[in-house]
């Protein structure tokens, strides 16, 4: 979870345990995945406990603007999608196989004997 996502969540009253910015950089991909899952579960638990259909219409001060919490939630989700897309680029640049996320990846199409979808 990035700092900006945590800041947005905190501005709405969601307080949850996250990774300390001063902690050492994880040494393995497994550690990164584990930390990401833990923080993701923490924010989801907090959202389920504090938000509902009605509270999604409440407005919070967000960077000198008033945002409905539903909009904030949509932006948080989009922000995570953006980072996932960045990760696929990094994987390809490093010669790693990219798994299908919303269907087969380019590499998976080729493994199925089909032309790669652009």
pLDDT at 111 > cutoff 90: no
Question: How many Cβ atoms are within 10 Å of 13's Cβ, its own excluded?
Answer: 13
Phi, psi of 89, deg, nearest 5: -65, -45
In this predicted structure, which of 50-59, 71-80, 81-90 has the lowest mean pLDDT?
81-90
CA distances from 34 to 18, 38, 62 (A): 12, 6, 29
Q: How far apart are CA 42 and CA 38, in angstroms?
A: 6
- The rounded mean pLDDT for the chain is 88
For residue 48, the model assigns a pLDDT of 95
Residue with token string 């989009």? 78
For residue 54, the model assigns a pLDDT of 95
Q: How far apart are CA 1 and CA 79, in angstroms?
A: 10
Res. 101 pLDDT band, cuts 50 70 90:
confident
For residue 1, the model assigns a pLDDT of 59
For residue 47, the model assigns a pLDDT of 94
**Domains in the chain: ranges and CATH:** 3-111 (1.20.120.450)
In the predicted model, what is the mean pLDDT of residues 96-117? 82
């Amino acid at each position: 979870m990035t700092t900006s996502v945590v800041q947005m969540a905190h501005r709405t009253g969601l307080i949850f345990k996250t990774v300390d910015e001063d902690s050492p950089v994880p040494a393995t991909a497994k550690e990164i995945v584990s930390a990401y899952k833990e923080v993701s579960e923490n924010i989801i638990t907090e959202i389920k406990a504090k938000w509902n259909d009605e509270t999604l219409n409440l407005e919070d001060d967000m960077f000198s603007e008033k945002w409905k919490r539903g909009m904030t939630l949509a932006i948080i989700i989009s922000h995570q999608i953006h980072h996932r897309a960045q990760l696929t680029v990094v994987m390809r640049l490093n010669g790693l196989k990219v798994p299908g996320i919303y269907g087969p990846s380019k590499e998976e199409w080729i493994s199925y004997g089909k032309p790669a979808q652009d």
